[in-house]
Amino acid sequence: MSGPDSTPRVRFAPSPTGSLHVGGARTALFNWLFARGRGGVFILRIEDTDRKRSREELSREIVEELGWLGLDWDEGPIFQSRRTGLYLPPAERLLERGLAYRSEPDPEGRTAIILRAPDEEITIPDRVYGTINFSGAELKDIVLIKSDGSPAYNFACAVDDHELGITHVIRGDDHLPNTPKQILLYRALGWEPPVFAHLPLILGPDKSPLSKRHGATSLKAFREAGILPAALVNYLALLGWSPGGDREILSREDLVREFSLEKVSRKAAVFDHRKLVWMNGRYIKEVAPIELVPALRRLLAGTEWEPVPDGRLAAVIALLGHRLKTLSDFTDQAAFFLGGEIGYDPEAVEKHWSGEEVPGILAEARAAIAAAAPFTRRRLEEKLGELVSRRGIKAGVLMHPLRVALTGRKDSPGIFDVVCLLGRKISLDRIDRALDTLAGRP
């Protein structure tokens, strides 16, 4: 590819003052897609010059969550706090040229270095919003170096973008007020500014900016809720961007190939948790069960099910299939497969265990399961089918009470699949307990 977007250098520059929000994750994704689709470079820069609010553990979390999302970077992570030597020299050059001045000393005798904001029109050719004009008269003087010696945000940002050779700055439109200040800094230092593209905000269902009151908003929370990274990438890509048509399920390769800034909408996107969960369910069905086990292990850590072997977890995932919308559903949906003693749903008991014939049916089902040899689905179908024919009952009259005995629930995967996965011993033990319960025995 040739032209202004060929071999771009872009960056994602979060501040470690909180967990990575989905708005920030989308910004990172759009930068990553833009770079990957054009043979460019994606840089991760941690903007941690705010000494009071930046936290090292949040820096580690951001790095980990981006890695989980699969957004690999070519350079970084670069920490601003480790680059302090870069910022003072250009500020001093502006002092020498009379474009900046020192503030009055603070109580400790320290001074800040401040740029005089010129009264001139500032035009930003934004790749999403089009031409944006700012009046220089509206801008105040710009702090370059604070009195404690640390660089101010806009100055550090401009210096780093220049030093790293950033060609395109793709970020949320909450940064629009910073852009004219940074352009003034570029002009004062005689540097060519990058191309800017500002992304509309992500809103909650009530059309206010997405926040915790709308539910989970951080990558960490979605990861812990059992959302797959591939599903989240797919969903985030469609927040404010469209490939055209009605396509919704797109692979990472599709996104890299088709993403462009020209298709980014100027309209704010609304985050729909239900749509994300639906999409996640689609991805769960398409992934081989054994591939989901590592992610599931993270959710099961510290629970009674942590020792369950990988093969059994994969078998349960395969059986639950379409019932799983997120991996966090697993512990509820699969409890009767993994645990010991089960509880009985009162509604299921009332509906399916109230008939006088139930104890006799369950006793005969127990005998059929005990006699099934070999213990295969086909042989179980034959034995239980014989019971239904012998009693002259509908299949449901057997299957529903048996389901409650084996799972404690009124709904489950197919009963033959349940028996096969539980195994003969556990199935017989649970029927015995059901019979004791029906007989009023402890």
432: pLDDT strictly greater than 80: yes
Best CA proximity match to 369, nearest among 419, 417, 407, 430: 419
Of 146, 181, 212, 275, which is the active-site residue? 212
pLDDT at 206: 86
Q: What is the pLDDT of residues 180-196, one digit of tens each?
A: 999 999 999 999 999 99
Instruction: Taking residues 82-92, report their average pLDDT.
Output: 94
Torsions phi, psi for 367 (to 5 deg):
-65, -35
Q: How confident is the model at residue 84 (pLDDT cuts 50, 70, 90)?
A: confident
Buried b (16+ CB within 10 A) or exposed e, 326-352: bbebbbebbbbbbeeebebbeebbeeb
Q: What is the pLDDT of residues 113-140, one digit of tens each?
A: 999 988 888 999 999 999 999 887 788 9
Give CA–CA dist 35/40, Å, rounded: 4
For the four alpha carbons of 286, 287, 290 and 294, in that order, the dihedral sign comes to negative
pLDDT at 1: 43
pLDDT at 5: 77
Instruction: Taking residues 158-182, report their average pLDDT.
Output: 96
Q: What is the pLDDT of residues 346-359, one digit of tens each?
A: 999 999 999 999 99
Q: How confident is the model at residue 2 (pLDDT cuts 50, 70, 90)?
A: very low
Q: How confident is the model at residue 331 (pLDDT cuts 50, 70, 90)?
A: confident
Helix axes 178-189, 153-163, angle to 10 degrees: 60
* Encoded tokens for 160: 């780093």
pLDDT at 438: 93
Instruction: Taking residues 40-67, report their average pLDDT.
Output: 92
For the four alpha carbons of 392, 395, 396 and 402, in that order, the dihedral sign comes to positive
161: pLDDT strictly greater than 80: yes
pLDDT at 283: 95
Give CA–CA dist 291/414, Å, rounded: 23
Give CA–CA dist 43/32, Å, rounded: 9
Buried b (16+ CB within 10 A) or exposed e, 240-272: bbebeeeeeebebeebbebbebeebeeebbebe
Q: Which residues contact 173 (CB under 8 A, 6 or more apart)?
A: 128, 129, 198, 199, 200, 201
* Encoded tokens for 19: 């967990």
Beta bridge partners of 287: none
Instruction: Taking residues 148-165, report their average pLDDT.
Output: 95
222 contacts 26 by C-beta, under 8 angstroms: no
Q: Which of 42-46, 341-345, 428-432 has the least mean pLDDT?
A: 341-345
| Catalytic (active site) residue 220 | no
Integer angstrom CA distances of residue 152 from 112, 155, 352: 10, 6, 69
Average confidence score pLDDT of the chain: 92
316 contacts 296 by C-beta, under 8 angstroms: no
The torsion of the CA quartet 153, 157, 158, 161, rounded to 10 degrees, works out to: 180
Q: What is the pLDDT of residues 289-327, one digit of tens each?
A: 999 999 999 889 888 888 889 999 999 999 998 889 999
Beta bridge partners of 102: 113
Q: Give the residue carrying structure tokens 């009071």.
A: 52
Give CA–CA dist 63/226, Å, rounded: 19
Give CA–CA dist 306/313, Å, rounded: 10
